[in-house]
Amino acid sequence: MDKIGKILAVDDNEDILFSLRLLLKSHVEKIVTSNTASSIPELLLNEDFDVILLDMNFTKDAISGNEGFFWLKKILEIDPEAVVLFITAYGDIEKSVRAIKEGASDFILKPWQNEKLLATLNSALQLRKSKKEIEQLKSRAKAINNINNQTFKDFVGNSSEMQKVYTSISKVSATDASVLILGENGTGKELVARALHNNSNRLDEAFISVDLTSISESLFESELFGHVKGSFTDAKVDRPGRFEIASGGTLFLDEIGNLPMPLQAKILTVLERREVTRVGSNKPIPIDIRLICATNMPLHQMIEEGKFRQDLLYRINTVEIDLPPLRERYGDIPLLAAHFFQIYTKKYKKPLRGFTKEALKRLGEGEWPGNVRELQHIIERAVIMTETDWINPDDLQIRILNKPFEAFELENYDLDKVEKTIIVKVMKMHQGNISKAAGELGLTRTSLYRRMEKYGL
């Protein structure tokens, strides 16, 4: 038998414990012994044992086995997946049957034959291994089920800007290339990530989405890399992390630009080694993921400012997909509005007829700083609140587009100088906000960055 597994032996007879230590020390990783049953709860909370050898009687001359059954129940309350082998000098069929019914895995008689005990222990270790694998599969299945239960809405939009996005998705989906999705909040970055997964060779595996801004630094490693039982106060059971659960499928790390530098280093290490180590363990676990990341932050600028690791950017952006804000695809607004109208009239059981012409015109005048998500919420509210058969302008609480752009005199008509002058003017107007300036100029943020670099701004 290979040297595997951690064993706990509890018996009031020190000679029995000594014999077990002597026999098992060359066969298992670790054996812990105790001559008092009351020590069991503390031992189980401090360490994860693969098999527990439990005496059936702890009181002198006791033969009923009731003490053993009492502690068996306690053990299974602490760890429902525990593998317990009863050891007793008074074994019989009746006790064996009762032990199995109450959760024991097997029954060993004292005095034992070494070969038989080792064979029984080996079977118990294999049972524990199987139980752990089943628990991991359950965790993974639960995560996959949670993902599948989330509402998924197909892309809506025929604009040239969205056609470019569709083309990128079609080209990249079938590969395992890492993808970085850039775009403002509310533009649908997770929708792109799901489309990449749903059109990939990993379609039948897990898609795990992680909002990195929602995880505190103290729980970061536990959430992403997993932990073993007892590694910290609330670690009651072994738990796989998001990387491990996503193995074989796709891991989507949203808002990666918000990660502090120390946590960026931890992510980079996992990506380089293609393995994770659970908190409280020193055993690396191989992972096989397709990585997709997203952010609304200017990562290239952040690298220059020392706020984002360049080596991490190289790992996550084999391909970049720049998702346009809604103000750059105004032609899609009627389609999106109709899409959400259909969803919410059905959800709230309101037989509305549609939008008035004035309402559609109002939608086309919006600023849409919240992008598609803002449009979705406004349509939902309008469906709920309207008191007529049609959505009217008054039902739409949107910010109207306003461009307070001051006139200025041109010194000459050199196109480069004109463009530079306009960019400087717009940047001042928006107090250096790249996203707002780009929207004002009808550019993507990437395009604006290129022009700023060109003119040394």
157 or 317: which leads in pLDDT: 317
Domain 327-395 has CATH 3.40.50.300: no
**Which H or E run contains 251?**
strand 250-254
CB proximity list for 17: less than 8 A, separation 6 or greater = 9, 11, 33, 34, 35
What confidence category does residue 88 fall into, taking pLDDT thresholds of 50, 70 and 90? confident
CATH 3.40.50.300 boundaries in the chain: 150-322
CB proximity list for 309: less than 8 A, separation 6 or greater = 261, 264, 265, 268, 303
- Range in 79-93, 205-219, 350-364, 368-382 with the lowest mean pLDDT: 79-93
Burial of 372 (0-12, 13-18, 19+ CB in 10 A): buried
Mean pLDDT for the stretch of residues 312-332: 92
pLDDT digits (tens, 9 = 90+) for 329-388: 888 898 899 999 999 999 999 999 999 999 998 998 888 989 999 999 999 999 999 999
Question: CA angle, corner 340, sides to 337 and 346, nearest 5?
Answer: 135
427 or 220: which leads in pLDDT: 220
CATH 1.10.8.60 boundaries in the chain: 327-395
Q: Is the pLDDT of residue 326 over 50?
A: yes
Q: Is the pLDDT of residue 59 over 70?
A: no
| Torsion angle, alpha carbons of 368, 178, 150, 186, to 10 | -10
> Is-contact 117 136, C-beta < 8 A?
no
Round to whole Å and give the CA distance between 288 and 275: 8
Question: CA angle, corner 211, sides to 209 and 212, nearest 5?
Answer: 125
Q: Which two tokens stand for residue 303?
A: 């690298």
Round to whole Å and give the CA distance between 267 and 286: 14
Report the pLDDT value the prediction gives residue 150, as an integer from 0 to 100: 42
Q: Is the pLDDT of residue 135 over 80?
A: no
What confidence category does residue 1 fall into, taking pLDDT thresholds of 50, 70 and 90? very low
Q: Name the pTM for this structure.
A: 0.59
Q: Which two tokens stand for residue 270?
A: 């996992």
Question: CA angle, corner 144, sides to 139 and 149, nearest 5?
Answer: 125
What confidence category does residue 143 fall into, taking pLDDT thresholds of 50, 70 and 90? low
Mean pLDDT for the stretch of residues 230-247: 88
H helices present in 149-159, as ranges: none
Mean pLDDT for the stretch of residues 147-174: 76
CATH class of 415-454: mainly alpha
Report the pLDDT value the prediction gives residue 4, as an integer from 0 to 100: 74
Mean pLDDT for the stretch of residues 239-250: 93
Burial of 425 (0-12, 13-18, 19+ CB in 10 A): middle
Helices (H) and strands (E) in the chain, counts: 18, 16
105 or 349: which leads in pLDDT: 349
pLDDT digits (tens, 9 = 90+) for 42-51: 898 888 888 9
Q: Which two tokens stand for residue 144?
A: 């996959």
Report the pLDDT value the prediction gives residue 352, as an integer from 0 to 100: 92
CATH 1.10.10 boundaries in the chain: 415-454
Q: Which two tokens stand for residue 227?
A: 């932990």
> Is-contact 279 222, C-beta < 8 A?
yes
Domain 150-322 has CATH 3.40.50.300: yes
Round to whole Å and give the CA distance between 232 and 4: 24
The rounded Cα 372 to chain-centroid distance in angstroms is 24
Report the pLDDT value the prediction gives residue 48, as an integer from 0 to 100: 83
Q: Collapsing DSSP states into helix, strand and coil, what is residue 332?
A: helix
CATH 3.40.50.2300 boundaries in the chain: 6-131
| Mean pLDDT of the residues in the chain | 85
Q: Is the pLDDT of residue 196 over 80?
A: yes
For the chain, what percent of residues have pLDDT higher than 90? Answer: 43
Superfamily per CATH, domain 6-131: Response regulator (3.40.50.2300)
Report the pLDDT value the prediction gives residue 439, as an integer from 0 to 100: 75
Most confident segment among 78-87, 352-361, 404-413: 352-361
CB proximity list for 279: less than 8 A, separation 6 or greater = 221, 222, 225, 226, 227, 228, 231, 232, 235
> Is-contact 212 259, C-beta < 8 A?
yes
**Which H or E run contains 52?**
strand 51-55
